[in-house]
Amino acid sequence: MPDDALAFAPISRQAELVRAGDVSPRELVELYLGRIERLNPRLNAFRAVYGERALAEADQAAARLKAGDARPLLGVPLAIKDNVDVAGDVTTHGTGAYGEPAREDAEVVRRARAAGAVVVGRTTVPPLCALPVTESPTFGVTRNPWDPDRSPGGSSGGSAAAVAAGLVGAALGSDGGGSIRTPAAWCGLFGLKPQRGRVSLAPHADHWHGMTSIGWLTRTVADAALLLDLTAGAADVDADRPAAPERPLAEAAAQPPGKLRIAYSLRVPPGLPVRPSQEVRRAVLETADLLRTLGHDVAERDPDYGPDSWAVSVRVLRGVADEARSLPRPERLDRRWRRIAAVAGAIPDELVRRARAAENAARARMARLFADHDVLLTPVCPEPPIEIGRWEGRGALWTVNGAGRLVAYTAPWNFTGQPAAAVPAGATADGLPLSVQLMGRPDDEATVLSLAAQLEAERPWAEHRPPLS
């Protein structure tokens, strides 16, 4: 297989090639390290690259393979977002406020390694993972491989840029308001925010007061399902413990969804000055038409978001402030982020408790829609990939308000905790990726994955590669 084809092959295919002896783990790691060396200076997708360490892990994987080890991802390279601990490396959260290297892998990293994966490095994030773009005063600007003058999104922007450009086959992300889905949408990838608690947050019990989920950015739906099967499950410390899926999610992704009742909506929560661009609107309406041709019942219906935007903001902002306080050297934050953290840190505990309690009513309102529909279709972001530096030099309030508008379609589903995915949906006139969002009932990643795989079969997006690859 040519090197470029191997670099862009699904990780499930890479694992098959390793098991068959058609490619060695070292060859696979060397391929990606070479691509990172060539392209990362232009993209800034990786904050740290584990060259010698990854090669040593690849050689260990080869020895295990020779001894008959059959781990499902043996020798397959992955990348980890820089807000999740990897033993022996600092976790920067996109800032200079970090301390000593982590002593242990986070639970999700441990499980990926247990499946045989090789960690090749850490991907870039914005400060405190609190922006829908990946631009850091400490680690620089991360660029979109579809257009380097555009953002890959955030906060999992480094992970998205790395996967889209073929620097790694899959990368870990986290999502507290859209941080998997926005980068996936802007980089032409599949990105599922799983049910809250599906993937362990350990060593943390929760994050951003219950808003955050961990998941993977991949080129194919099948790869996302495989990675979720291999890394899902609660650890002792986790506050959220959803029931396990009735069957492996990889099986769900491989089977047609049957006839579904699908709602679509272009509306955002009340009070937000957000309207989707014409191209974003077109992506949703064309996807609705495609779903009709596939035999689904599709109708326009707006969710009853209710008056909960304040509660979403409270949980996110206080979560950002708590993150800043938890860093070993918070005084090293730049002035803008010190200001944001100080203002958000003044949110009282009682208001946070009220914001968390408001979730029950929101879930009940959403349940009324899902009583009549299996899936909800909306935009991911109101705009295609935005220009680099939109908030450069802007103050704290301008930055927070601007970021809030970009996550208007995604953050409500962090509030309710249910699964939501970004699914590629064509391109703009300039060739930039477009995407739509699919939401499922609580605990029902299976239906989202199955429907997304059906769309992927009709629109085989993984065949398209960005110019900077």
Contact 387, 130 (CB under 8 A): no
Write down the architecture of domain 3-463 according to CATH. Alpha-Beta Complex (3.90)
In the chain the first and final C-alpha atoms are separated, in Å, by 17
Model confidence at 269, pLDDT cuts 50, 70, 90, reads very high
Distance CA 140, CA 88 (A): 23
> Residue 396: what pLDDT?
85
Share of the chain above pLDDT 70, in %: 100
Q: Which residue has the tokens 């009583």?
A: 371
pLDDT at 409 over 90: yes
Per residue in 68-93, pLDDT (tens digit) is: 999 999 999 999 999 999 999 999 99
Is residue 13 scored above 90 in pLDDT?
A: yes
Q: Can you tell me the mean pLDDT for 95-106?
A: 98
pLDDT band for position 3 (cuts 50, 70, 90): confident
CB 106, CB 174: distance < 8 Å: no
Q: Which residues, including other chains, have CB under 8 Å from residue 463's CB and lie 6 or more apart?
A: none
Strands (E), 39-103: 46-49, 77-81
Q: How far apart are CA 388 and CA 125, in angstroms?
A: 14
**Secondary structure of 32-54 in HEC code, one letter for each residue:** HHHHHHHHHHHHCCEEEECHHHH
**Bridge-based pairing state of the strands 135-136 and 170-175:** unpaired
Q: How confident is the model at residue 393 (pLDDT cuts 50, 70, 90)?
A: confident
Average confidence (pLDDT) over 353-373: 97
Q: For 256-268, what is each residue's pLDDT tens digit?
A: 999 999 999 999 9
- Average pLDDT of the chain, as a whole number: 97
CA distance 221 to 237: 29
Per-residue pLDDT reduced to its tens digit, 193-225:
999 999 999 999 999 999 999 999 999 999 999
Question: Got the DSSP string for 261-291?
Answer: EEEE-----TT------HHHHHHHHHHHHHH
**In the chain, domain spans:** 3-463
Q: Which of 12, 151, 156, 179 is catalytic?
A: 179
104-126 average pLDDT score? 98
Helices 221-231 and 11-20 pack at an angle, to 10 degrees, of: 70
What is the per-residue pLDDT for 2?
A: 84
The average pLDDT across 289-297 equals 98
Instruction: State which H helix or E strand residue 310 sits in.
Output: helix 309-326
* pLDDT reported for residue 397: 85
The catalytic position among 12, 136, 151, 155 is 155
Cβ contact 1:23 at 8 Å: yes
DSSP reduced 3-state for 419: coil
Q: Which helix (H) or strand (E) holds 118?
A: strand 118-123
In 3D space, the residue among 70, 82, 80, 65 whose CA is nearest the CA of residue 110 turns out to be 80
pLDDT (0 to 100) of residue 271: 87
The active-site residue out of 81, 136, 174, 193 is: 81
Active site residue 326: no
Provide the residue type at 401 as one letter.
N
Active site residue 277: no
Contact present, 83 and 93 (Cβ < 8 Å): yes
> Is the pLDDT assigned to residue 192 strictly greater than 90?
yes
Q: Could you confirm whether 155 is annotated as catalytic? A: yes
Dihedral sign of CA atoms 449, 451, 452, 457 in order? positive
Whether the predicted pLDDT of 296 surpasses 90? yes
**Quick one: which H or E segment has residue 123?**
strand 118-123
Alpha-carbon distances of 179 from 33, 348, 437, rounded to whole Å: 25, 25, 13
Closest CA to 268 of 289, 287, 291, 284: 284
CA 391 to chain centre: 22
Tokens of 340: 């944001």
Write down the pLDDT at residue 394. Answer: 85
Instruction: Quote the pTM value.
Output: 0.98
